[in-house]
A = this chain, B = another copy of it.
């Protein structure tokens, strides 16, 4: 039976080719996705297993990628905890009744994850039926702090004022909210594993909105606890995205995950050297600037090659963009990037 290329690379084992997938590979840049979204809103799509599976599989019909990531949103679990979620066109997610006091926290529920979020598992099970044995089914969740940020602010934020206010003026409420989210997130990820996920990813997009010290003391422990809890019952790999800054690598002492997703703003060779210096035993994922998919073909190919060359120095390398694909991405550019990855694999021989 053929092994899953992405899982092998995640654990730092030799693979016969460099695994490749794209953050947000299912989405608005694909006309077939827009066709489905014409008739259903975003949250409705996430909650419909048949349609979510269909949308998840769309990029796999066009592109020779090594993984599918379930189509969903990091805020979906909040809907089961008692906040109503909508997406305001052009303004991102809105969660009603933002959590800013002990009373607000008290109104949240610890949901029965399998019953109330089972549609995500169902979509994973459905999707997996269409994957080749060497392809990886990725489940995901937001890391506790990033989810908490939205729950506290009630929407995206530039300044995270309410998050900071809660952290400074009601630290106990902040801590208990983080604990609740961490517990729900662990169950949510294990439910996805049970449904068929071969690999998990934790997105901590806003982690770098805390000071480095607060990240270390108040953010990292909850995130790492989620991984520890999940890993106690599962032997698959977990990818962690710690946000834009390389700075947080310094705070990952004792990290339980297997792969760090590196943002495109960070130079991959430097991140890999730092990972080695810090003694972190992880593979890396990334980190093409998604906007470089707008570049002329020769420049795009050169940029892909730079990422591949840097990745050679890592324990294992999963090729990806360093942040989600954007709606204006020309799908043809992904074909070029994939072709360049396959060409690179051939020049360096069949194993590395």
Contact = CB atoms under 8 A, between A and B. Distances in A.
A79 interface: no
Interface residues of A, number: 31
Contact of A292 (B164, B270, B289): B164
A159 B247 contact: no
A225 B180 CA distance: 52
Interface string A48-74: 000000000000000000000000000
Interface of A: 159-161, 164-165, 168-169, 208-209, 211-213, 244-247, 250, 264-267, 270, 289, 291-292, 294-296, 299, 326, 328
29 contacts: A159-B291, A160-B291, A161-B291, A161-B294, A161-B328, A164-B291, A164-B292, A168-B292, A168-B294, A168-B299, A169-B296, A209-B265, A211-B265, A211-B267, A211-B292, A212-B265, A212-B266, A212-B270, A213-B267, A244-B244, A245-B245, A245-B246, A245-B247, A246-B247, A247-B265, A247-B266, A247-B267, A250-B267, A250-B270
Given A212-B270, A246-B246, 10 more contacts: A159-B291, A159-B326, A161-B291, A165-B291, A165-B294, A168-B295, A169-B296, A208-B265, A211-B292, A250-B270
